[in-house]
Amino acid sequence: MQKFLLSKILLSTLLHLYLKETFGQSLEVTDTTQDGISSVAEQSTSSAGLPASAKAATIAVVTTAAAATRDTTAGSRIPTQSTTASPVAVPSTKQVIMPVRFPGDEAAEDQAVAREISNREDVGSGGSDTLTIEKTEEASACAASVLERREFVLQNNLTQLGVRSAVQFEETLLIFTIIFVSAMAIAGVYKYVQSSFYEEDESLDSTFDAGGNVGSGITASTLVSQWTWAATLLQSSSVGAAFGISGPYWYAAGATIQVLLMAIVAYYLKLHAPGAKTFLQIIRARFGSRTHIIVMVFALFTNIIVTLSLLLGGTAVLTGLVDGLSPEFASMLLVVLVGGFTLIGGLGATFYVSYFTCAAIYALIVVFVLEVFYNPFDNVKNPFHGAGGLFQYISCWPGPEGNQEGTWLTFYSSGGLIFGIVNIVGNFGAVFVDQAYWQSAVATKPRRAVWGFLAGGMTWFAVPFGLATTMSLGYHGLSSAQGESMLQPGEISRGLVVPLVSEALLGKLGGYATIVMVLTAVMSTGSAEIIAVASIIIYDIYIPYIKPFKTHLAKGYCILCEKPLRSSSELDVTCSCPSMEECSACIKDDEARNAVDHIVKPIFQCPIHAEYRDYESAVINFKSWAIIYCTLSIIPVLWPAVIFGEAIGLDLGWIYLFTGVLVASAVIPVYLSLVWTKTTSSGVSLGSLLGAVCALIAWMTHASTYEGGLSNFMANTGKSLPMMTGNVVAIVAGGLICAVVSYYTKNEADDEELQQWNSTRDIDNPLRPWTQLYKVEFDLKPTGRWHDRPPLQMFEEVFRTEKRIAYWFGGGISIFMVLVWPLLMLESVVQDQGRFLTWTGVSQAWTYCASLYIICVPLVEEVREVYGQYKLKKQDEAISVVKPFVN
């Protein structure tokens, strides 16, 4: 019964806000903080002339007798520090109201607030978006230390408004150079390890699967680095600055469950298509070219959106922190950083560099956590002196209207709940339709893939949860310490909370730390996106459509000899081609080529594999150009958004929420393609396309109900409720249409499960078939035929435990994060100091444990792997030396 009541509270809160925003009802809301600080009544649309769809939630900012002489022009964000001019006294019967808005609402609301200001005679300096109303009571609930700090800031002109450009251009170039050189060195280490201990050649597949046996620790660190966008570091804290303690949690939980559930997807990928290098190859093998092209468009759109998010976030931070750095040059630095080492090392170098970036990011997060909650070095810029002091500052700093009792310290937040729904739905598209995350599953075996995704999800949770909780609470505490918000809503939406707090507390060192975090995040995620797009270009565009090895080759036939792989009758002559490893002619070719040191090598002589090896060499040459093309294409495709984004209102908040509207309709069709034998080509195609059309229509229709309609496109479409509508419609409509159409168009004659998955298990490289990776697991012996593989039932039996782990842990933890944990948090309406210390303690503990795992486990695991390979190589060398004497 208690859980039912808690669920009812969540749904009623969401419905209340939905009706209010959609139908423009004038609802009078009175918010009283726990300590009885303030009471705010929302103005009626008829009396204020302010439509409900565009109103900013106004919250009474606590004032004191010492703050009665504050400069009323301080709301303008032009100066970065208050001047020494005589302040304008504010009557003690007034108080300042700061608008609290959802990301994307700024333009329309600024216009509405401007109209409201023009109707008031007691407004301060023009150009400020602050309102003044009658104060209901004196702000007497703040602790004495808080009041003293505000007076100290006022008297010493220490008010900070906006991010200061504390880092010089030359210093930024030095940081960039150090990171770039370090990445190059790590890529070189990877190349050395592979060539010295694993003796792997420069094959096409090794570029995109890193050998296919990556450890679970490296897989986890790679997933963390790929999923740690610039938006993760920046936007998660912006959400906390907008909604309070619920914001970081909903960001973290809403984006963690997709990685956890990808453990299930990774298992099925390895079960049904162990040789696939992209998930789009499975679509093409099952459903043909038409459906393949449709889903590929969705995948490429996802890559473009993610890369755009990286550039916008990185550019915003660099231009905000670095003095004299233009957006054009900042984005060019990011492009060079991303493309440089990706070209050298391929996916393997990305795995190694991902560990380096993860270690740096987690170490810096720990530094921020220690500084905000403990102030271990008695930093004079830090007014909190511990978590208890931080609570004192935040508890008397008013929160947004949508939060219960107008406080930041509550999970009863309608805005946070809406963001959580949008975040959950939208991130399914950003993960399930992004080849970068499938790449991690491609590069390892089922057991390591499942544990890698589970560990990656649990450790990544600490990035937005730990960092955003720390930085957003630090932001509110610092704002309370000076009695005025340090950022405008538009600046918060641009992701400037992290750079502001780091710079305010740590000065120039904080600026350095933020730049390092953003550059490493952009580098690792950007390189993963480039590898993902390059793999799509190679395996899904160039090989099947532009330069296929064999044209008009039917399914189930050998690409080398064009004979059937499986016999359908006793008269069939099946393929008997060996793999390159079992071919004596190929061994002689390799010996002859290895004996030559110069660039020109002897041609391949093998009568079976020579032609295909020449073809693969040509594709390898094109691979390098494909990576270069992908890197350079960022400039003409994405630069306009970077340069003109601010002018049109395009920011991280809008992009982040829009992702699901555009691509989430393909999530369920892609998943069903991997697990359901009855899925059809028509179901996947129509589900993806019509789901996206329905989502866009619902999104824009809802946005058109706000003032200005679609003529005020960026502001109205960026509101939370239209974004929620579009995201939910996308994933629900796409899944329903796919399931229904597939059910009515399924081919009864083709309903055998084995026949369904033979086409996907045939995705393979005849030179190095995927069975070579599973010799130990299945005790495979040489058969002389490259396509001989263990049956599907044996594969399921061997990896049955991994399937159960993926479902129980991936599904169970996901349910706990999005349902059980939030319901438990509704036990208290507003956190007192004890609950606040417990909550922040949980975020700190999670951060410390995740940092310990991500820094230590991948390193130990990889050193152990390399040392084991080194011992095997020494044993082989010893055997080769002894053999001549034995003979």
Higher pLDDT, 524 or 740: 740
Confidence of residue 443 (pLDDT cuts 50, 70, 90): confident
Tell whether the model's pLDDT for residue 671 goes beyond 90: yes
In the block, residue with structure tokens 């039932």: 793
Q: Which residues pair with 57 in a beta bridge?
A: 100
Tokens at residue 256, please?
A: 């963690």
- Residue 11's nearest CA partner among 366, 312, 494, 417 is 417
- Residue 314's nearest CA partner among 426, 224, 179, 437 is 179
Catalogue the E-assigned strands of 311-470.
Answer: none
The one-character DSSP state at 545 is: I
Asked if 536 contacts 296 with a C-beta cutoff of 8 angstroms, the reply is yes
How confident is the model at residue 445, as a pLDDT?
Answer: 87
C-alpha span between 684 and 741 (Å, rounded)? 8
Instruction: Give pTM, 2 decimals.
Output: 0.78
Tokens at residue 312, please?
A: 């916008």
Concatenate the DSSP letters of all residues of 143-160 into one string.
Answer: -HHHHHHHHHHHHTT--B
Helix (H) or strand (E) holding 395, with range, is helix 387-395
C-alpha span between 342 and 102 (Å, rounded)? 37
- Residue 399's nearest CA partner among 236, 254, 247 is 247
Q: Which residues pair with 322 in a beta bridge?
A: 167
Higher pLDDT, 817 or 306: 817
At position 122, the amino acid (one-letter code) is D
The three-state secondary structure class of 31 is strand
Tell whether the model's pLDDT for residue 592 goes beyond 50: yes
Instruction: Give Cα 556 distance to the centre of its chain.
Output: 38
| Secondary structure (H, E, C), 668-699 | HHHHHHHHCCCCCHHHHHHHHHHHHHHHHHHH
- pLDDT tens-digit readout, 130-170: 333 333 333 446 888 888 888 888 888 888 888 877 788 88
Least confident of 91-105, 245-259, 338-352, 484-498: 91-105
Average pLDDT of the residues of the chain: 77
The one-character DSSP state at 811 is: I
The three-state secondary structure class of 854 is helix
- pLDDT tens-digit readout, 819-863: 999 998 888 888 899 999 999 999 999 999 999 999 999 888 888
- pLDDT tens-digit readout, 320-372: 778 778 877 887 788 777 776 666 655 566 777 888 888 999 999 999 999 99
- pLDDT tens-digit readout, 189-223: 877 777 777 665 567 777 677 767 777 888 888 88
C-alpha span between 801 and 822 (Å, rounded)? 30
Tokens at residue 243, please?
A: 């909604």
The three-state secondary structure class of 54 is coil
Helix (H) or strand (E) holding 532, with range, is helix 508-536
How confident is the model at residue 341, as a pLDDT?
Answer: 62
Asked if 453 contacts 262 with a C-beta cutoff of 8 angstroms, the reply is yes
How confident is the model at residue 125, as a pLDDT?
Answer: 34
Higher pLDDT, 404 or 14: 404
At position 104, the amino acid (one-letter code) is G
Tell whether the model's pLDDT for residue 120 goes beyond 50: no
Tell whether the model's pLDDT for residue 293 goes beyond 90: yes
- pLDDT tens-digit readout, 499-518: 899 988 988 888 889 889 88
Higher pLDDT, 209 or 734: 734
Helix residue ranges, H only, 194-288? 204-209, 216-227, 230-243, 246-272, 279-287
How confident is the model at residue 113, as a pLDDT?
Answer: 37
Asked if 581 contacts 768 with a C-beta cutoff of 8 angstroms, the reply is yes
Tokens at residue 235, please?
A: 């936007």
Tell whether the model's pLDDT for residue 684 goes beyond 90: yes
Tell whether the model's pLDDT for residue 756 goes beyond 80: no
Mean of pLDDT values over 380-407: 88
Confidence of residue 655 (pLDDT cuts 50, 70, 90): confident
At position 882, the amino acid (one-letter code) is V
Write the CB contacts of 392 (distance below 8 Å, at least 6 apart in sequence).
142, 143, 145, 146
Asked if 523 contacts 338 with a C-beta cutoff of 8 angstroms, the reply is yes
How confident is the model at residue 813, as a pLDDT?
Answer: 94
C-alpha span between 670 and 553 (Å, rounded)? 25
How confident is the model at residue 247, as a pLDDT?
Answer: 92
Tokens at residue 19, please?
A: 């009706």
Asked if 248 contacts 404 with a C-beta cutoff of 8 angstroms, the reply is no
Characterize 714-748 residue by residue with b for buried, 16 or more Cβ atoms within 10 angstroms of its Cβ, and e for exposed.
bbbbbbbbbbbbbbbbbbbbbbebbbebbeeebee
| Secondary structure (H, E, C), 79-98 | CCECCCCCCCCCCCCEEEEE
How confident is the model at residue 718, as a pLDDT?
Answer: 86
How confident is the model at residue 570, as a pLDDT?
Answer: 57
Directed axis angle between helix 435-442 and helix 508-536, to 10°? 80
C-alpha span between 389 and 565 (Å, rounded)? 71
In the block, residue with structure tokens 């990685």: 259
Q: Are strands 131-134 and 94-100 parallel, antiparallel or unpaired?
A: antiparallel
C-alpha span between 128 and 79 (Å, rounded)? 13
Confidence of residue 451 (pLDDT cuts 50, 70, 90): very high
Helix residue ranges, H only, 69-215? 106-118, 144-155, 169-193, 204-209
The one-character DSSP state at 406 is: G
How confident is the model at residue 496, as a pLDDT?
Answer: 86
The one-character DSSP state at 66 is: G
Asked if 316 contacts 325 with a C-beta cutoff of 8 angstroms, the reply is no
Residue 228 has, within 13 A of its CA and on its CB side, a CA count of: 35
10 Å CB burial of residue 564 (0-12, 13-18, 19+) is: middle
- C-alpha distances (whole Å) from 750 to each of 286, 677, 757 are 11, 9, 11
- pLDDT tens-digit readout, 17-64: 444 444 443 333 333 333 332 333 333 223 333 333 333 333 333 333
Mean of pLDDT values over 536-545: 92
How confident is the model at residue 202, as a pLDDT?
Answer: 62
The dihedral built from the CA positions of residue 452, 454, 460 and 462, taken in this order, carries a sign that is negative
- Residue 519's nearest CA partner among 184, 851, 179 is 179
C-alpha span between 495 and 314 (Å, rounded)? 10
Higher pLDDT, 423 or 349: 423
Tell whether the model's pLDDT for residue 683 goes beyond 80: yes
C-alpha span between 122 and 108 (Å, rounded)? 23
